Structure 1
Amino acid sequence: MTSTPDNGVIIIIVTGTIALLLMVVFGLSFIVYYHKRRRESIQEKQILQENYQHELLQSQIEIQNQTLQQIANDLHDNIGQLLTVVVMRLNSLEDEVIGVSQQQSVQQTRELVRTIIADVRTLSKTLDHDTVRRFGLLPCLSLELERIQRAGRINTQLTTMGEPYLLGEQTETVLLRMTQESLNNALKHARATKLHVMADFNVDSFSLTIADDGQGFSVQEAIARQLHESGAGLNSLFRRAGMLGGTCTISSPGTGTKVHIRLPRN
């Protein structure tokens, strides 16, 4: 004769099973919640770090713009005026000298000073933040390349692809500064004879390429240099592109260097 468990035992077993299941569910829920919070915490830290880097770079750009603005004003108001006075003195000197060779020398010097005045005015415009706001990126790039072309040693070219559209004042200012830095690197180190800037206005992205035909360099070696050494500015190019939500790649296979900046179109 078999005995059947009474109701009290059944209730205890059922209650224990339910309690055990609840404990398992609670444990799993706690583990899931813990990992979710951990991921959220990591993401929050990453966002805070990115915001900090963005604000730091933004402050650096604002300081640079203010500094360049002051330099532009000094070039235009002080140096430009002094060079104009030099031209006036040369005009007077031309009337005073008698010999033909001396007059030619004065004329050549005067033309040289006038060329310097034109370069100073162009440089002051490209350094002026308001120039980008008023005229946009492409005219500023053209102005910068014309200034380099007037030196007579390097041929420059600006190529535009696609239908141009506005990128925003801050973005265009940063792109101009990145281009100026890349061009300056090519002039100082590459021994280039040609500089080519290409602006490609795609439907969903914008890309800017600065290429030269110089001697090239080791990109990895330059990136690894310390802050006080030449080449540390390459990291600045990467950071600025990242601040704009894009990328910057630099290739130098041995002959020529190409800086390629790509931004998504917002």
Structure 2
Amino acid sequence: MLFQEEQFILIIIAGTALLLLLGVFMVSFMLMYQKKQNKNLLERENLKASFKQEMLKTQIEIQEQTLNDISREIHDNITQVLSFVKLNLGLLNNSLDDEKKARVNENRELVSQTINDLRHLSKSMSFEHISSQGLIKTLETETERLTRSGIINVIFEVEGDVYSLGEQRELVIFRIFQEAVNNTLKYAKAANLKIGLYYTAQMFNLLIEDDGAGFNAEKVDNKGGSGLRNIENRAALVGADVIIASSPGKGCQIKLSFNPLVQQIYAKGTHSNSLS
């Protein structure tokens, strides 16, 4: 009788141990399966993010190449033709009476102004010019030109100890500035525009703010929203966070920020005619 009880106890212990081992095996299997699933999911997300990054990079490369081509075309051809027109007007002036000379001189001045505007436009499209001038000098030139035009009053300020953000990051920031200014001039009907660059050791911030009509961000149509999407795409390309805040009658504020110590692959290296 005692022997049977001992056998029964051993069977219970063995069965319990077997169930425990089976439970441990099942839990381990589930954990390994879940870990593998998470790894696969992470790999898929990384592939999607990498693909999106490459698509954005390609899009920006095409845009930059197009801008450089247009810049060279303006500089090498259009301004040369206009300079020739200006020269011919000057030669024509010698054979005219005073009244006609005055009219020709007015046209020569218009041609001269057009040449200057096109040269400036050519420079603003060229990466080489932006790279040689640097971000702050280029922005100063652009903001001064806008203020002189009388179209809008621009306040430009820089705070903190200035440091290089890298050629390609600075190019992206300048293109974001151009896109934001273009949106302001086309849609905002603003009187004032503020551009601020703020440097700290751990963070760089760009602030673009106008006092225009503003808009409802949730109701921006495809036409009006393309510029904002371009800003967001360019910011994403260099690992920057961008916040676009606006409401009807309260202007628009664009704030871009990133840690200058956290380098993106895209933000390194040099630039020739593309962003490679």
TM-score by length of structure 1 reads 0.88
Deviation at 1:54, TM superposition (A): 0.4
Is the 1:159–1:197 contact (alpha carbons within 8 Å) kept by the matching residues of 2?
A: yes
Aligned AA (1:106): V
**Structure 1: runs of 5 or more not aligned:** none
CA 92–193 in structure 1, closer or farther in 2 if over 3 Å, else same: farther
| Counterparts of 2:210 and 2:225, CA distance in 1 | 17
Question: Match for residue 209 of structure 2?
Answer: 211
| Counterparts of 2:81 and 2:145, CA distance in 1 | 20
Is the 1:149–1:156 contact (alpha carbons within 8 Å) kept by the matching residues of 2?
A: yes
Aligned AA (1:177): R
Deviations 1:113-172 (A, max 9, x none): 222222211111111122233232222222332443343322223211111111112211
| Counterparts of 2:129 and 2:251, CA distance in 1 | 30
Question: Match for residue 62 of structure 1?
Answer: 61
How many residues get paired?
A: 260
Query: Identity percentage over the alignment?
Result: 36
CA 114–244 in structure 1, closer or farther in 2 if over 3 Å, else same: same
Counterpart of 1:258 (choices 253, 256, 260) is 253
Question: Match for residue 51 of structure 2?
Answer: 52
| Counterparts of 1:219 and 1:86, CA distance in 2 | 47
Question: Match for residue 249 of structure 1?
Answer: 243
Question: Match for residue 89 of structure 1?
Answer: 88
Question: Match for residue 178 of structure 2?
Answer: 180
Is the 1:123–1:147 contact (alpha carbons within 8 Å) kept by the matching residues of 2?
A: no
Counterpart of 1:201 (choices 196, 199, 202) is 199
SS at match of 1:251: strand
> Is structure 2 residue 28 aligned with structure 1 residue 34?
no
Deviation at 1:214, TM superposition (A): 2.0
**Structure 2: runs of 5 or more not aligned:** 262-276
Deviation at 1:8, TM superposition (A): 5.0
Question: Match for residue 273 of structure 2?
Answer: none
Aligned AA (1:162): G
Aligned AA (1:247): D
CA 192–249 in structure 1, closer or farther in 2 if over 3 Å, else same: same
